[in-house]
Amino acid sequence: MRFQLVLLLVLGVALAGGFGALQMSRIGVHQGYSPDQPIAFPHKVHAGDNKIPCLYCHYAARTSRHAGIPPASVCMNCHTLLEKQTVEIEKLKEAVQQERPIQWVKIHNLPDFVYFNHSQHVQSGVACQRCHGEVEKMTKVEQFAPLTMGWCLQCHREHAEIPTGEFQRAAMSLKQKQKAVAGTDCASCHY
């Protein structure tokens, strides 16, 4: 009886294996995640139509591990001068007047065991759109990329400028200024 149960279980897993493996590979992948925000912030209007650079609002991305969410005072740099009023702008102004933080919902989440540093990527010239998609065309931001280990490694492999031999490493150090390297070893992202 025990053997038959194990055989039945193994056969069931084998038959569902293709589907089960696919489902298991998607655990923790939130591509397309687009939660409602407390204020409907249209990136299309700000970053697209008005061409406000990502790093104006998310200035911490230059120097910090986290890009950060701008304080409402950054929004008010423009919105105190603009005459156009909407319900969403009124929500912003009310939060500022009441000195109440806006409870934004985080969209791009990585597991705790993954180390990601925005400043390393920004300083290396990686465009925000590479990971976040064309946010300047999004009315409502969504997670564009799967942000899986395989996806990240593919990018790192495409951009790795790692010399392969000792002669090449020596030539690089003599002739060129060392550039940031997209590491592909485990410790680049897990430590």
Show Cβ contacts of residue 120 under 8 Å, excluding neighbours closer than 6 positions: 180
User: What pLDDT shows up at residue 137?
Assistant: 98
User: What pLDDT shows up at residue 134?
Assistant: 98
> What are the sequence ranges of the domains in the chain?
30-146
User: What pLDDT shows up at residue 160?
Assistant: 74
User: What pLDDT shows up at residue 11?
Assistant: 52
Distance CA 48, CA 136 (A): 4
CA distances from 82 to 75, 102, 124, 140 (A): 11, 20, 35, 22
Distance CA 132, CA 57 (A): 15
Count CB neighbours of 70 within 10 A.
16
Residues with pLDDT less than 70, the chain: 1-28, 161-180
Distance of CA 10 to the CA centre of its chain: 38
For 173-186, the pLDDT digits (tens) are 544 444 557 888 89
User: What pLDDT shows up at residue 168?
Assistant: 45
User: What pLDDT shows up at residue 52?
Assistant: 97
Q: Tokens standing for 56?
A: 């104006």
Please say whether the beta carbons of 190 and 114 come within 8 A: yes
User: What pLDDT shows up at residue 4?
Assistant: 60
For 30-40, the pLDDT digits (tens) are 999 999 999 99
pTM: 0.75
Show Cβ contacts of residue 8 under 8 Å, excluding neighbours closer than 6 positions: none
Say which amino acid occupies 4: Q
Please say whether the beta carbons of 102 and 39 come within 8 A: yes
b/e code 143-168 from CB counts within 10 Å (16+ = b): bbbbbeeeebeebbeeeeeeeeeeee
User: What pLDDT shows up at residue 178?
Assistant: 47
User: What pLDDT shows up at residue 182?
Assistant: 82
